Copies of this chain bind each other. A is one copy, B any other.
């Protein structure tokens, strides 16, 4: 379930719910550094209310009616950040990271569109934007978790050793199951899932991903 579904389930379906998401590492927002967000609600008037309430000198808020897309971007990006973190600690460079980010965004977009989201949302702040932040920020827990995996640590041990919630761990399992349900090809998600839940080696994953058959970019 998406968070707005959980909220509707707990508070009642008729409650006015607005989803706010985007590239917003908390410590940077607290410091007043320029940050952008998306406020999404099926009711655009509600989204505009949230926009008016939150907008200030350091915070620029855009509106959207694509609740599904905004929520999925914010959660699915954590899986790709785990892959990016692995790439970092395996000693790969920015070329590899950019490839992971790009192909990662392509596969979470495919799942989102299959679930009813708009493709454009994933190219926006709550998709691409949040993905970029999470993949490059030193504060990202999911990227850090991937780094630990890349260093050869087992997922269970990393989780035991931290008090932080690493969302991408659970999300990888949900997304893997959703990819089968909606019949969507998600190679990066599948590999992250197999590393966390099936003890596959991160080094084997890189080999498997690079040695796939040659393809056109859009298929």
Residues on A lying within 8 angstroms of B by beta carbon are 23-25, 28-29, 31, 33-36, 38, 44, 48, 51-52, 55, 57-58, 60-64, 91-99, 101-103, 105-106, 109, 118, 120-121, 123-125, 128-130, 132-133, 136-137, 206, 210-212, 214-218
Q: Are A105 and B128 in contact (CB under 8 A)?
A: yes
- By a CB distance below 8 angstroms, the chain B residues around A128 are 101-102, 105, 128
Complex alpha-carbon distance, A120 and B214, angstroms: 19
A217/B63 in contact, CB under 8 A: yes
A219's closest neighbor in chain B, by CB?
Answer: B62
Partner of A218, one of B60, B124, B132: B124
The answer to whether residues A94 and B28 also contact, given A106-B124, A132-B102, A217-B125 and a CB cut-off of 8 A, is yes
Nearest chain B residue, comparing its CB with the CB of A61: B214
Q: Which residues on the B side are within 8 Å of A29 (C-beta)? A: 95
A64 lies within 8 A of B218 (CB) = yes
- Known contacts A28-B95, A63-B217, A132-B132, A34 near B210 by CB under 8 Å: yes
Counting every copy of the chain, the complex holds 2
Contact B106 A123 (CB under 8 A): yes
Q: Which residues of B contact A215 (CB under 8 A)?
A: 62-63
A57 touches B210 (CB 8 A): yes
State whether B133 touches A136 (Cβ < 8 A). no
Contacts of A91 in B (CB 8 A): 33
CB pair B130–A92 under 8 Å, yes or no, is: no
**A34 partner residues in chain B, CB cutoff 8 A:** 92, 95-96, 99, 206, 210
- Cβ–Cβ contact A132 & B33, under 8 A: no
Question: Contact between A216 and B129 (Cβ–Cβ < 8 Å)?
Answer: no
The 8 Å CB contact of A129, one of B51, B64, B101, B109, is B101
* A136 smallest CB distance to B (angstroms): 6
CB within 8 A of A105: which of B28, B57, B106, B123? B123
